[in-house]
């Protein structure tokens, strides 16, 4: 991979990773509601799930979607429904309150891994990065470079957005403010669905 192509890959990974999307919205909300430590499995699941998704894209997932466009439609519908359900959970979650039992729980590692496969933004990102930056004649070496870059940017992204949520935690100690924040995050999650399903 040439230096200019690598630089373009870095810009692509930065722009697609750090911009708001379902994963970033969810870890921010989790950081606010559950803190950094309890969000670590969620962050690890996003990272592992996305790396597996990029690996699958490098292995020919794009060809499968091209051969069976109904799979894309099914993915969009399943993803949209799941994200609507997650938005409802975010809107109704409550910050930890020490000794009180909180019925809302952070997303687990395996839930976050599975979520990547119904997250249209993640699927589109994985397919696009492979299509743009992996040359057929250098498939393995280019794919390994892409995987390394996406791994680093995904880790950086989830840590940053979770940290942003944790930073807001003190400001949202008031239950009314926390409720307003969760509703706003839920609405952002719903809005993030729209361009992916159109």
Q: What is the secondary structure of 130-174 as a DSSP string?
A: HHHH--GGGHHHHHHHHHHHHHHHHHHHHHHHHHHHHHHHTTT-S
151 in a structural domain: yes
Provide the domain count of the chain.
Answer: 1
55 in a structural domain: yes
DSSP conformational letter for 57: I
Q: What is the pLDDT of residue 73?
A: 73
Per residue of the chain (198 residues), give pLDDT as tens.
788 889 999 998 998 888 878 899 889 988 988 899 999 999 999 999 999 999 998 888 777 766 777 776 777 777 777 778 777 877 776 655 443 334 368 889 999 999 898 887 888 888 888 888 988 888 889 999 999 999 999 999 999 999 999 988 877 777 777 778 778 877 877 777 776 666
13 in a structural domain: no
**Domain region containing 82:** 23-30+37-96+104-193
């Amino acid at each position: 991979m040439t230096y200019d192509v690598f630089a373009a890959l870095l810009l692509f990974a930065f722009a697609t990773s750090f911009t708001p999307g379902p994963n970033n919205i969810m870890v921010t909300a989790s950081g606010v509601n559950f803190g950094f430590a309890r969000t670590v499995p969620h962050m690890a699941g996003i990272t592992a799930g996305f790396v597996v998704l990029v690996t699958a894209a490098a292995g020919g997932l794009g060809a499968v979607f091209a051969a069976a466009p109904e799979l894309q439609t099914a993915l969009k519908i399943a993803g949209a429904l799941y994200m609507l359900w997650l938005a409802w959970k975010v809107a109704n979650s409550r910050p930890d309150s020490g000794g009180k039992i909180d019925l809302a729980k952070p997303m687990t590692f395996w839930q976050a891994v599975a979520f990547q496969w119904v997250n249209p933004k993640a699927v589109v990102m994985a397919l696009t990065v492979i299509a743009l930056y992996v040359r057929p004649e250098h498939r393995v070496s280019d794919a390994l470079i892409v995987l390394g870059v996406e791994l680093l940017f995904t880790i950086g992204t989830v840590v940053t957005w979770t940290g942003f949520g944790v930073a807001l935690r003190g400001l949202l100690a008031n239950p009314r403010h926390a409720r307003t924040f969760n509703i706003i995050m839920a609405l952002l999650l719903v809005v993030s669905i729209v361009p992916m399903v159109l």
